[in-house]
Chain A
Amino acid sequence: MTQGLGTSKESKKLKKIKKEKIMKDRTEGIWQIIWRRLKKNKFAIFGMVVIILLSIIAIVSPLISPYNPYEQNLTERLQPPSLKHLCGTDELGRDVFSRMLYGSRISLSVGLIAVLIATTIGIIVGSISGYFGGVVDNILMRFVDIMLSIPTLFLILMLIVFLGPSIFNVMLVIGLTAWTDLARLVRAEFLSLKNREYVLAAKAAGAGHFRIIFRHILPNALSPVFVSVIFGVAGAILLESSLSFLGLGVQPPTASWGNILTSGKDYIESAWWLSFFPGFAIFITVMSYNLLGEGLRDALDPRLIE
């Protein structure tokens, strides 16, 4: 009896091994491989879940926000958090929770669009620089060097003063100053990839420069770009908050996490909730992007053997 049980257990085990082998033999796409590796990283998954949740919240914020974020109610100024006002109210009696929900739209979209601009510029400059080399590379990279030698925040402040503070200008200016690292990264990838045999094969098949750069080389250079984009979003959100805090970003009464913080700084001793909640939101968002970025970097690294 026991023996029989043993063999059935063994055969079950064997079946399991067989099944696993079949699963492994089945061809896996690159995304499946990345997902399988990413899944193992609990922190990255946590980051991803938080990002998805935040994005959903940002999209549906008008539906779920309990109050109008712009409606002032001077009788309920600086109320501490309660069931009525989850995150308290500010100096004008506006509901901080509602303002934060609306602010998430601004902060996340500024982060995403700024990074989109930066990524586009970075990819174009980096790939042209790396692919063509020579004089073109020299000119572009010296320009990058110049950009990198000016303190970023100072550069941004200068541009904002020049263009005038608005949500759109904040996105634009962050995008225009954040592409340099990515350009260097893409250039480095191109320098090594452009000498691969498949690039020569593509040339021999009659492909032009444009096609070779964007069709043949760029897809092979994308994994570091992904990682950099994710980290970039975190950086852009932080920058937007700093700018708004300095009063040069998103202008009140539009709510962004940065300018809720600004109004909170005058009451930091009497009304802690005004600076704590937006600060915490920035912290959790940036951390989530960083965790996901780090997880993605490991998942995309072919040198890390499972």
Chain B
Amino acid sequence: MILELDGLGHRYDTEQAVDTVSFGIADGELLGLLGPSGCGKTTIVQAIAGHLQPTAGRVRLRGTDVTTDPPESRHVAVVFQQSTLFDHMTVADNVAYGLAADAGTVADFLDLVSLTDQQSAYPAELSGGQQRRAELARALSTDPDVLLLDEPLSALDRALRTEIRAEIGRLQRETGVTTLFVTHDQSDAMALADRLVVMDNGAVAGVGEPRTLYASPPTPFVADFLGRSTTLQATVSDQQPLTLRVDDTRLGFDARRTALPTGTPVTCYLRPSDLRLQPSPELPSLPCEPVDVVDAGRHYDVTVALDTGERLLVESQTQPPVGTATQVGIPQATMSIFPADEGAANDQ
């Protein structure tokens, strides 16, 4: 591991911002640190970069404890959410400012981000995308052991966001720099990261490859935060195969089993895109009635009410008539089940 966090914690006065966070980044890996605003992501970045002294835990770089080392001796580059290009320097001077002795020339790095023609320009003369690329070039020119990208896309509009996201992926592949990509946007994280660390309220809620975390979320929070989800309350009525009871309806999932005892109330996290209205007979299904339909462009967001009064969100390719009784089918593969009290604890 190039970078290891061991029980990292930080407290601002009475507020515990980060609590016992441990994870590592392998050489050349692009790790996504994902979580909602205020979950402690930036505190972790600041602690790794050395701009903040954590109140607990250690930061190790290449096996060396650097927790108390100053930022300038860590070989950790940072790109912040807002531009920190120095206004009084040209683009070339900005890149030259941090250029490591054996990293290459300023021209090499400007070429890497296609800014050769803007080398004499001042930051204020650059577009938002050019500023981001100049910052990436400046960060890479230090030949860092770890590159920290702290919400680098948040201040950009949608089109630019996609462009710079692709640029970050390309730069990371070409340079092989170990990267920690911090974001609150799960689509950015899913698109870029080799592996994800999902944060919730200052603690790690899940670690794994993006697709694995999406398909098999380890906690209700991850299920809720990573992609769209809708929840269904049920009770375990059989373990093998898994059978759930919703009101008087039994749903049998022959390919699933559970360790939860019979009679346990559970919360099922379902993907709205996987739910089916008027499903085929073999799919476990519940009677329902569409109560609201919103045209979301590529699909319709259909809210259906079950007989229990509970509501599910379904992404449908067709527009169902509101108020007409139908069935909602529940595919078993992408359903995640948690004890109901665990899900409630994470409902925020």
The answer to whether A and B assemble together is no
List residues of B whose CB falls within 8 A of some A CB: none
Residues of A within 8 A of B (CB): none
